[in-house]
Amino acid sequence: MTAYVVFRLLVAFALGAVWYIADRRFGGRWYRWWYDMTHEHPMKADSLQGFVHGRPTKVRAFWAVLLSTFITLLTYLDGEFRPLQELGFWAITVPAAFLGLLAGPYINGLWQKRDTAFDAMDKWERGEIDLSGELKQKSSEIGEKLRETIATTAKSVGIASDEKKPVDISRAESTAPPEPAAAPANPEELVNKYLRRSQDSDGK
């Protein structure tokens, strides 16, 4: 059952992403035709909206509900259908389809860059470019940017850098501990010293 639930979620996510990519590529003109037919004023010429892309979040949520309903309908036509179970599956596949619609722009961007990646691989196989050198260069650039980011963050939060702060000598002298006072003299030694001095004076 767990594997089937994961499968349904993945299908809903993939369907949402594919629907966004297809709408981005082919849905613009169809949506323009639909908009011009159902609205008094035609769509602006520079508008790039489709059924999904360029639309607010609530429209994507609406399409997520439709895609989840479509998956449930396919399950019904496939054979055995349990209404309560399928209602639960429908409820959890709506967020999955919505996430697929949100991830659609990023997946579409990666898909558009596939030709660049394939060309780079072909040039590497022919020995025209050195991927290891480019990777090292990119790594050094990323490392340099990371160090700059860390230094900027440290400076903003007030963390001391490698530079040593100057020492305030006057303050250091003022805060130095006082020298210990001399111990008081022993009274017996003072008396003996006085008697010895008086005897010396009598002998003279």
pLDDT digits (tens, 9 = 90+) for 1-16: 788 788 889 999 999 9
Distance separating alpha carbons of residues 87 and 75, to the nearest angstrom: 11
Per residue in 106-126, pLDDT (tens digit) is: 887 777 777 777 777 777 777
**Which of 66 and 196 is assigned the larger pLDDT?**
66
The two structure tokens encoding residue 118 = 């394939």
Q: What is the DSSP letter of 158?
A: T
Residue 129 clears pLDDT 60, i.e. is over it: yes
Residue 97 clears pLDDT 50, i.e. is over it: yes
**Which of 182 and 145 is assigned the larger pLDDT?**
145
The winner for highest mean pLDDT among 18-22, 54-58, 141-145 is: 18-22
Among residues of the chain, what percentage have pLDDT more than 70? Answer: 69
Is 132:48 a contact under the CB 8 Å cutoff?
A: no
Task: Give the per-residue pLDDT at 132.
Answer: 66
- Mean pLDDT of the region 160-174: 49
Task: Give the per-residue pLDDT at 125.
Answer: 73
Is 74:86 a contact under the CB 8 Å cutoff?
A: no
Residue 42 clears pLDDT 80, i.e. is over it: yes
Task: Give the per-residue pLDDT at 161.
Answer: 45
Contacts of residue 81, defined as CB under 8 A and 6 or more positions apart, other chains included, come to: 75
- Enumerate the domain spans of the chain: 2-112, 114-145
Task: Give the per-residue pLDDT at 160.
Answer: 45
Cα dist from 105 to 37, 101, 102, whole Å: 27, 8, 7
Residue 188 clears pLDDT 70, i.e. is over it: no
- Mean pLDDT of the region 33-47: 81
**Which of 142 and 172 is assigned the larger pLDDT?**
142
- Mean pLDDT of the region 150-168: 60
